[in-house]
Amino acid sequence: MWRLQLLNWSYLNFRLKTKTTTRLFSIKNEIAKRHGPITNLKICKDHFAEGNELTDDMLTLHDYGIDGGLTHEKEVVCLIYYDFKPTQHDNPLLLATEQY
């Protein structure tokens, strides 16, 4: 289980349950789905610092030293911090939301 926390906005925090074989790009895609078009996404393990940044999208969570647990064991939670910049658009059609 990942507990993902946006660096400065706690109301956007969320949890994501994945396997340790999940690659970092999948986590980045999930973050982008929740926030829409974003740029400069940075993901850090444990606390937000340059030395803790996860940069290689093709590595798995296990490759980054995140160990999971068996399904019948207590859930393992890894704290992940992320930050990004929203994509800027001048075109009003791109800013419109879809109405159902």
Q: What is the pLDDT of residue 41?
A: 92
- The kind and range of the H/E element at 92 are helix 92-95
User: What are the boundaries of each domain within the chain?
Assistant: 2-87
What is the tens place of the pLDDT at every residue in 51-82? 999 999 999 999 999 888 777 788 888 888 88
The pTM for the full model equals 0.74
For residues 16-22, average pLDDT: 89
Which CATH number applies to 2-87? 3.10.20.90
| Of 84, 86, 77, 94, residue with least CA distance to 41 | 84
From the CA atom positions of the chain, what is the Rg in Å? 15
With a CB cutoff of 8 Å and minimum separation 6, the contacts of 39 are 84, 85, 86, 87
Say which DSSP state 51 is in: G
Torsion of CA 14, 18, 20, 23, to 10 degrees: -80
